[in-house]
Structure 1
Amino acid sequence: MPHVIVEYTDNLAARSDIQDLLTKIRQVLENRSDTYPVGGIRVRAHEVSCYTIADGKENDAFVHTQFKIGKGRSEEVKQATCEAIFDVMKTHFEDLYQESYLALSLELEEFQHPTFKQNNIHGRFK
């Protein structure tokens, strides 16, 4: 693990390269492979087609990112990683943010209980 889940409104699909965003987020984590094992990285996106934002009168958009990790990392490491991911998001959507209404958000979820997993991908990176 980590898992990153990006939810974005469908009115962004034609105006932004979401796959490129996912690649940039993966690179943030891959560059911290001493903290986040490469074989456990999962970055994905879900396009949201049913939503309402603010007063519903504009063509508003949002991108909400969930960053999910297991316990055990320091507050400094978690803060630095979240800042790096959010910087990627802000840079990626900079032009759209200037020309339209857009809300960006990122939340960190640290699992408090053990997770069940089986993953042979890690073996490629040892």
Structure 2
Amino acid sequence: MPHVIVEYTDNIKEEAHIEALLKKINQSLIDSGGVFPIAGIRSRAIELKDYFVADGSEDDAFVHVALKIGGGRSEQELTKACDKLFEMIKEHFADLFEKRYLALSMEVEEFSRPTYKQNNIHKRYKK
């Protein structure tokens, strides 16, 4: 963990630069000072073709980022890392935000129950 899922409407596909966004998301999490283990970071995007925004009268768009994490971080370090991440997301979409109607959102889900996982990527980052 963490896992990041970016949902975005297909009407911004050409201008959203999603691959670059995913790289920036991972780098932001890596740069959070050890809050998240590098080998556990996974980001992916889902292009939405079926959606309805507001009253449907405009060609509105949205990007929703879900950050799913296991427990164990202090509220302070989690807030700092998430604030930094959302600021980066807003910067990434700043030009597009100025050109069209666009809603940006991010949620953080911290699991209270154990998660089941197996990951040998961690070995690469152990010193």
Question: How far apart are the structure 2 equivalents of 1:26 and 1:33?
Answer: 13
> For structure 1, which segment, 56-65 or 24-33, has the greater mean C-alpha deviation from structure 2 after superposition?
24-33
Amino acid at match of 2:34: D
Instruction: Output the amino acid matched with 1:62.
Output: F
Q: Is the 8 A contact 2:60 2:101 kept in 1?
A: yes
Segments of 4+ moved more than 2 angstroms: none
Cα deviation, 1:33-58, whole Å, max 9, x if unaligned, reads 52211110001110010000001011
**How big is the shift at 1:78?**
1.2
Matched residue of 1:23: which SS? helix
Paired position in structure 1 for 2:3: 3
Alignment of 1:3-82 (within 5 A): 3-32=3-32, 34-82=34-82
1:32: Cα distance to partner?
A: 2.5
Does the Cα contact within 8 Å between 2:35 and 2:78 map onto a contact in 1?
Answer: no
Unaligned runs of 5+ in 1: none
Gaps of 5+ in 2: none
In structure 1, distance between residues paired with 2:33 and 2:91: 23
Q: Distance in 1 between matches of 2:15 and 2:37?
A: 32
Using the size of structure 1 for normalisation, the TM-score is 0.97
Please state whether the residue corresponding to 1:45 is helix, strand or coil: strand
Q: CA RMSD in A?
A: 0.8
